[in-house]
């Protein structure tokens, strides 16, 4: 269930699976060492034997690329390690204190302590065996007809709210739910019904003729059998084949990744009657009652093309296949709180086979991740109070204001844009709601009962609490200030239907932001992140939304043609990048992120230059201000990935790998001047070939 359709994050989930460092240090000479955090950029990471214009990524990151090692419990590493690991260490310290003190029952601190303790108690989890999940298995095995099946599928519906979740795997639901303003219904909050039901990342893993994908399919079928065996489910081989065959049919019904990325074609709204008419097969009355949506009159059918096929499968496929599928996915979605043999089997497939990661992360770190998932705001409130000073919030807000104004100035100066298009673009950028650090409204978890000794029950109760939280928004005005990331998330997000941005506290620290660092560094690092998220409001998808968050065409025909021409050129540029022989980056799939990188970097550069007040920045450690700006940007995209993870990124993710995102600089005129890039340099683009979007 792909939430990226309404929340456009800086990074995909794979990137956050393994961040690494871009620290502020230099050992090149005494003057650079004395510069300390003032210089900001990591000179030790660079390979200054490389000519910047020939390979700018290697120039900025070459030494790091040669020497960095991917940890055994990671599928990748990148320029997010300092912030990620610092955040993780802070949270471990904070949670340790909470757990070590007696907490008053019913408080968030008590919920955190209970959840953490239950999650860490693997002896109790192993001793419980499959008892915790038996009630759910019994529900599935009791399905006697299509009405029962529809009821159970409705009861399994869960909220899909994680902007970092770009894949369909680990879902026990045939459909997912997302609640926010309708794409083309400004002011009307709707439940979005999304495609789901797959155990692998997306449909291409099932349908591609590529030999790598075919091998993964065989591994997945074997994994289903192993998991069922570990769970003491009889006839595991026969059941695994039925589950796999059913998922193949589900995959064929799914929309493609490119179709999912297309907002403009996905604004379908169905009435209750149209839902039943357009997607027969499910008993929708029973389904919606079980899903607590019986009185909902209208639905956003984001995957309208997939829903008829998915619904038809409910009517056509054998009940025994659906019963097996439900049992498997209930177990597969909660392996971390079931016996170790089940947890280990899950990691062997998802961690090692799919991502190439040799070792599972330690249980205490996984417990922190689980807390962030199920009690994210409770943990975030404590985290922000301890680790994110108001002074940092104020300083970053000033940068946001400067970059927003720089973007607006660029819009005012676009010579190809008609005045009516320009006016709406300016309304949009000037009305963006920007959240810095954390939300001003914290979640209420008072209805979420957390056990001190039942980790499985805690996860299910957390899912129900989140679902209730999302349903409570129906019938209410849209909250444009709603946050979709917790403060402890090392990422940022653009929310097009809210015309809003979130910059969590955890990304507002080194290596992205350092209050003591040179402005060139901060504008090249966090400034480019800020510009990126602002620019998502004007990428190939974001530009379809107006200043109110409504999906509508506010462009003249000529303006849209000019915009699309530049987008096509940028897509073609990325199509040329080839990480493995014959495997190219998908320029069309990654276009939104690439536009945001380019426009955001340009806006951040303009804001940086404006901050100098007409003066030139000092030379620090032998680098000019402009050089430090561009190096800082490239170092935030330092990336090293296992082959399996990189192949998965290329196949499924809307984000290009970081080493190619760093090459956005090729389209910025100032980069050529900063590093004396000439036509004979390998990465030179002629002025007429440089893409200029916004």
pLDDT per position as a tens digit, 268-304: 999 999 999 999 999 999 999 999 999 999 999 999 9
User: Domain of 429: which CATH number?
Assistant: 3.40.390.10
Q: Dmax over Cα atoms in the chain, in whole Å?
A: 77
């961040």: which residue's tokens?
Answer: 19
Per the structure, how many domains does the chain have?
1
Q: Is 628 helix (H, G, I), strand (E, B) or coil?
A: helix
Instruction: Collect contacts of 608-611 with beta carbons under 8 A, ≥24 apart.
Output: 608/519, 608/520, 608/523, 608/524, 608/527, 610/402, 610/406, 611/402, 611/519, 611/523
Query: Hey, which residues does 434 pair with through a beta bridge?
Result: 501
pLDDT per position as a tens digit, 200-254: 988 999 999 999 999 999 999 999 999 999 999 999 999 999 999 999 999 999 9
Predicted TM-score of the model (pTM):
0.84
State residue 1's pLDDT score. 35
In a domain, 371, yes or no: no
Query: Hey, which residues does 620 pair with through a beta bridge?
Result: 623
Please classify residue 535 by burial: count the beta carbons closer than 10 Å to its beta carbon, then call 0-12 exposed, 13-18 middle and 19+ buried: buried
In a domain, 613, yes or no: yes
CB 423 within 8 A of CB 539: no
State residue 10's pLDDT score. 64
In a domain, 204, yes or no: no
Q: In terms of residue numbers, what domain contains 550?
A: 21-67+390-437+513-635+657-689
What is the token pair recorded at 90?
Answer: 């802070």
- Rg (C-alpha) for the chain, rounded Å, is 25
Backbone φ and ψ of 186, nearest 5°: -55, 130
In a domain, 79, yes or no: no
CB 462 within 8 A of CB 373: yes
State residue 9's pLDDT score. 64
In a domain, 78, yes or no: no
In a domain, 542, yes or no: yes
In a domain, 15, yes or no: no
What is the spatial distance between Cα 577 and Cα 533, in angstroms, rounded to a whole number? 24
447 C-beta neighbours (distance < 10 Å), count: 10
State residue 11's pLDDT score. 59
State residue 552's pLDDT score. 86
- Chain-centroid distance of CA 264 in Å reads 21
Q: Find the DSSP H helices in 375-484.
A: 376-387, 390-413, 419-430, 455-471
CA–CA distance from 342 to each of 6, 227, 352, 359 (Å)?
33, 6, 15, 15
In a domain, 194, yes or no: no
Ranges in the chain, pLDDT < 70: 1-37, 81-82, 161-172
């Amino acid at each position: 269930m792909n939430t990226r359709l309404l929340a456009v994050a800086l990074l995909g989930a794979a990137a956050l699976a393994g961040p690494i460092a871009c620290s502020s240090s230099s050992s090149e000479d005494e003057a650079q060492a004395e510069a300390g955090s003032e210089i900001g950029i990591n000179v030790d990471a660079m390979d200054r034997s490389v000519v910047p214009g020939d390979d700018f990524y290697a120039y900025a990151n070459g030494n790091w690329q040669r020497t960095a090692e991917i940890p055994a419990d990671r599928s990748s590493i990148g320029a997010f390690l300092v912030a990620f690991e610092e955040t993780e260490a802070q949270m471990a310290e904070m949670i340790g204190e909470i757990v070590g003190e007696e907490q008053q029952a019913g408080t968030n601190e008590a919920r955190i302590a209970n959840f953490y303790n239950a999650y860490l108690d693997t002896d109790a989890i192993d001793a419980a065996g499959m008892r915790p999940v038996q009630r759910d298995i019994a529900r599935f095995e009791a399905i006697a007809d299509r009405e029962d099946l529809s009821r159970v599928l409705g009861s399994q519906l869960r909220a899909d709210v994680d902007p970092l979740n770009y894949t369909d795997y680990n879902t026990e639901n045939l459909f997912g739910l997302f609640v926010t303003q309708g794409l083309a219904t400004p002011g009307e909050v709707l439940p979005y019904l999304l495609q789901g039901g797959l155990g692998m990342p997306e449909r291409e893993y099932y349908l591609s003729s590529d030999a790598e994908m075919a091998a993964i399919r065989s591994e997945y079928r074997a994994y289903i059998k192993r998991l069922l065996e570990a769970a003491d489910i009889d006839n595991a081989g026969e059941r695994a084949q039925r589950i796999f065959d059913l998922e193949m049919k589900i995959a064929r019904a799914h929309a493609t990744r490119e179709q999912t990325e297309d907002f403009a074609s996905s604004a379908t709204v169905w009435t209750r009657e149209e839902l039943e008419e357009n997607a027969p097969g499910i008993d929708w009355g029973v389904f919606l009652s079980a899903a607590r949506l019986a009185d909902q009159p209208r639905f956003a059918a984001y995957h309208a093309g997939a829903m008829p096929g998915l619904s038809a499968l409910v009517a056509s496929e054998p009940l025994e296949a659906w019963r097996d599928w439900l049992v498997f996915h209930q177990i597969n979605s909660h392996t971390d709180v079931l016996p170790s043999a089940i947890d280990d089997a899950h990691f062997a497939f998802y961690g090692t086979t799919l991502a190439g990661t040799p070792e599972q992360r330690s249980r205490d770190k996984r417990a922190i991740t689980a807390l962030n998932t199920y009690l994210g705001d409770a943990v975030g409130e404590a985290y922000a109070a301890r680790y994110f000073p108001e002074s940092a919030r104020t300083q970053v807000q000033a940068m946001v204001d400067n970059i927003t104004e720089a973007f607006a100035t660029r819009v005012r100066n676009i010579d190809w844009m008609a005045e009516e298009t320009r006016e709406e673009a300016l309304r949009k950028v000037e009305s963006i709601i920007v959240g810095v650090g954390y939300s001003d409204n914290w979640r209420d978890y008072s209805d979420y009962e957390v056990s001190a000794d039942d980790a499985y029950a805690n996860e299910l109760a957390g899912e129900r609490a989140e679902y209730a939280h999302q349903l409570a928004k129906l019938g209410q005005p849209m909250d444009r200030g709603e946050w979709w990331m917790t403060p402890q998330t090392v990422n940022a997000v653009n929310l097009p239907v809210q015309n809003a941005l979130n910059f969590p506290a955890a990304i507002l620290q080194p290596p992205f932001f350092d209050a003591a660092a040179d402005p060139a560094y901060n504008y090249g690092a966090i400034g480019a992140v800020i510009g990126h998220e602002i620019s998502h409001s004007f990428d190939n998808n974001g530009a379809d939304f107006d200043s109110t968050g409504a999906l509508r065409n506010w462009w003249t025909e000529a303006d849209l043609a000019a915009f699309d021409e530049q987008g096509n050129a940028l897509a073609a540029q990325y199509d040329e990048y080839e990480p493995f022989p014959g495997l190219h980056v998908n320029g069309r799939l990654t276009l939104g992120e690439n536009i945001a990188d380019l426009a955001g970097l340009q806006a951040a550069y303009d804001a940086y230059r404006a901050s100098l007040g007409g003066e030139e920045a000092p030379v620090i450690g032998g680098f000019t201000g402009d050089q430090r700006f561009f190096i800082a940007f490239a170092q935030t995209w330092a990336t090293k990935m296992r082959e399996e993870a990189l192949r998965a990124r290329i196949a499924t993710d809307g984000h290009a790998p970081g080493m190619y995102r760093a090459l956005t600089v090729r389209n910025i005129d100032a980069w050529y001047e900063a590093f004396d890039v000439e036509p004979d340099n390998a990465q030179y683009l002629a002025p007429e070939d440089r893409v200029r979007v916004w």
